[in-house]
Chains A and B, each alone.
Chain A
Amino acid sequence: MMSEQHLLGSGADGQFLGDFRALAEATSIAGAAKYSPLVLRRLALFLVGYGGGRNRDAPLFELCHLVNIVDALGGDLAGRWQFFLGADRVTGAQCRGELAHLHDASGWLRDGFEWRDDGVAIDYDGDEFVVTFGRMPFLLALYEFLASMDDFAHHGTLNDAIDRMLAKNAEAAGGTHMRAVQDGANGLAAAMRQYRGRHLEQGMHDDAFMAILNYLRQRGDDSRVSFADEDILQFWCLHNRGDFRTYRRTYQRFADFTAAMAATQARRLGETAARLGNDWESGEVDPDDLHHAPAELGDFAAWSDPLPLLDSGPAAEIKFFTGAGEREPLAPLTEFGPFTRRLPLAFLRYVAFGSVQAAITTALQFHPGVAVETDLLACGTAETYTTRRALYEKLLVRLDRLRKATYHALNQAGGAGGAGAADERADGGVISLSAHAPERVFEAARRQGELASEPSEDQLAALEEEAAKAFKQIARRGFEAEDLDRDDRREGFRIGAGVLYAVGKILDGYINDLKRLDRGGGLEARFKQDTATFAVEFDKLYGVTDDRDRNAR
């Protein structure tokens, strides 16, 4: 009998998924998402047992510190709930504002706490622990999940554990008590383990893992396997009756498989398995770290989609990309990053024929019993590969203009005396800004090959003029000259500069990959060939036959 998890295609059961969706779909009064995609991704990683770096329960430890901070600022039970649950839209700046409000009202009621520019430091008998403002949105999301999970069954237990921890801290001579915080975190970790045990089927994805592994082993030897674009398509054609029903899901699973193997390999080699992942957990993602070349397998493990960085903090106030026209086509490219560079054709199939399959399944979902349109089954609506290439080339031009405009914004801000300051963190340290002076952005551009060598003064002046022109031409939110002196705006452009660079790097590289594929009209021929292949498979899956009820599929 098929379990609920199998039906949902996830090890998480309906309760787990519903508990997470409760937060993922939470909106502010204005209708915006309560938590940024970045925060939700971090939360998801933690919940499945992956997000804690070396110690997967470390976020619970951090959460207890934050609870301790709120309590030391006079936040009683009502105040704690107001801080952790009362925010309309959770950002680092909002968390800092709430704490500042408490601080102004009562100051520190216990010793051992210190307000800092980037967060709050707690001194536990000489051991210091800092909770940054940038980290707080994730911790608030974690608290809310713990309070809500299992239909609030653990809410009372959560409060009791916190109250015990706070009572011990209040009794401590120095105002803080590390052991109490650890005990509190351990209590929460135990509850979280029980929750995972109840709602997360551990072996759920083993079959998928083994299916891919066995398929690849047939093509390699015991010590090494390899696969190319065609292997994913062939695998899908062979396995599209079950867990790998859609090409997109197959592609995603191959990407995850690669990332998992890469992480294991990196660990074996003694490397940090997920450099950015660890940085995330400390809340310090440096966009400049995204400037790595997509060549080594380790990059699969380290890759992190840069686009969500634009969704929170001061960068969210600047409209770097339009939604459907720019962000939407770029999103899958940046999501898979180096994987798309290695398997460019597989990605084209993901975009073009994945969309067709999604349209087919949507049609069946909303119109059960109605035959799927022939044109859909025949992939007549699929976006051609050359169209996609042209789209990305157009986006690269726009991206170049955005980068120049961002350069101008930072250059202007630098002129106002604010650029490059190592310790300025307008949004509470969401992003480390240590080296994002305009020169650094420029240097990044140079490294990318736009400039072959060190620029002359004339070249620099010409670039600045061009950048100013680009800035003026962009009439989007946040690109207002009069606001460039604002700290938060400056901060937003610094974050954006790193993201634009990372996106540009992937986009530029991918376009080059497509150029190579297109030699001699290769893309056109590939598209025709793939259309025929997918049409056959779609017909098998969704076409009307005499002896099968298509609605049962």
Chain B
Amino acid sequence: MIEIEMPDEAGMTAARQHFARLSETRALLDGGADAGISAGRLYAHAMAAAPMPDAALEAALEQNLALRRTYRDFVAAGAIYRLGEVIAASTDGIPPRRGVGCRISVTASQAEADQFIVILELDGGGGAATPAVLVLCDQSDRCHRFPLPSAHRGVIQFIVQADDPILPLLRDPGTEALLR
């Protein structure tokens, strides 16, 4: 048996509010809704050199601008190099980009007409770590990741096919390139 002394009106209001908070706490802890994307999950995905596939997160990124901006902020904050500047405009080629201590350029393969070579030259100054991922963020804040091979003699170099998604991104002067 439980006996309760009835409070006055103010006390009853306080009790009702208290009851609501306890009920809400229980509702939060008990679930009943689909989980959203947490900042930690987004951060882990942004910072990983090779993130695990996360379809829900990627779908949310596609749909949500705020999420994409945050993701881009995370990547940018952790970037070793930032290459925002396009050195020279080009009508048909892909303009090289330069950042502090690094340069990225693309050259057509001499051996295969449908291939291009992406070249990242790093000065390695200040004991900077070698980047493992090239992230290209377009003007709608969609960031695209491209894992990098290891650097050799201060150069990271890889071949892509002409239809590789990296090429239009590098061709677009509005795209920001981040190395991390």
Q: Per the CB under 8 Å rule, do A and B touch in the complex?
A: yes
Residues of A within 8 A of B (CB): 8-12, 14-26, 34, 40-41, 44-45, 47-50, 77-78, 81, 85-87, 144, 147-148, 151-153, 155-156, 159, 200, 202-206, 208-210, 213, 216, 220, 222-228, 252-253, 256-265, 267-268, 297, 339, 342-343
CB neighbors of A among B19-38 (8 A): 19-29, 31-38
Give the Cβ gap from B175 to chain A, nearest Cβ, in Å. Answer: 21
Given A258-B2, A265-B4, also A25-B24 (CB < 8 A): no
Q: Using CB atoms, name the residue of chain A closest to B79.
A: A78
- Enumerate chain A residues within 8 angstroms of B60, measured Cβ to Cβ: 151
In the complex, the answer to whether A343 meets B2 with C-beta atoms within 8 Å is: yes
Q: Using CB atoms, name the residue of chain B closest to A78.
A: B77
In the complex, the answer to whether A261 meets B4 with C-beta atoms within 8 Å is: yes
In the complex, the answer to whether B25 meets A8 with C-beta atoms within 8 Å is: no
- Enumerate chain A residues within 8 angstroms of B47, measured Cβ to Cβ: 86
Given A40-B29, A155-B70, A264-B14, also A202-B2 (CB < 8 A): no
Give the Cβ gap from A345 to chain B, nearest Cβ, in Å. Answer: 11
In the complex, the answer to whether B22 meets A227 with C-beta atoms within 8 Å is: no
15 A–B contacts, CB within 8 A, in A order: A15-B36, A17-B32, A18-B36, A22-B41, A24-B35, A25-B35, A77-B77, A81-B78, A148-B39, A204-B20, A205-B19, A216-B4, A224-B4, A258-B4, A265-B4
Among A81, A210, A227, the most chain B Cβ lie within 10 Å of the Cβ of A81
Given A77-B77, A144-B40, A224-B3, also A205-B32 (CB < 8 A): no
In the complex, the answer to whether B6 meets A222 with C-beta atoms within 8 Å is: yes
In the complex, the answer to whether A226 meets B26 with C-beta atoms within 8 Å is: no
In the complex, the answer to whether B32 meets A10 with C-beta atoms within 8 Å is: yes
In the complex, the answer to whether A81 meets B2 with C-beta atoms within 8 Å is: no
- Enumerate chain A residues within 8 angstroms of B7, measured Cβ to Cβ: 261, 264-265, 268
- Enumerate chain A residues within 8 angstroms of B33, measured Cβ to Cβ: 8, 14, 17-18, 21
Given A11-B20, A17-B32, A48-B25, also A265-B5 (CB < 8 A): yes
In the complex, the answer to whether B38 meets A260 with C-beta atoms within 8 Å is: no
User: Does B91 reach chain A (CB closer than 8 Å)?
Assistant: no
Give the Cβ gap from A458 to chain B, nearest Cβ, in Å. Answer: 44
In the complex, the answer to whether A19 meets B36 with C-beta atoms within 8 Å is: yes
Complex alpha-carbon distance, A49 and B34, angstroms = 22
- Enumerate chain B residues within 8 angstroms of A47, measured Cβ to Cβ: 24, 28
- Enumerate chain A residues within 8 angstroms of B73, measured Cβ to Cβ: 155, 159
Give the Cβ gap from A10 to chain B, nearest Cβ, in Å. Answer: 3
- Enumerate chain A residues within 8 angstroms of B18, measured Cβ to Cβ: 50, 259-260, 263-264
A267 contacts which of B14, B25, B29, B34 (Cβ < 8 Å)?
Answer: B14
B4 contacts which of A148, A200, A297 (Cβ < 8 Å)?
Answer: A297
Complex alpha-carbon distance, A406 and B92, angstroms = 76
In the complex, the answer to whether B39 meets A205 with C-beta atoms within 8 Å is: no
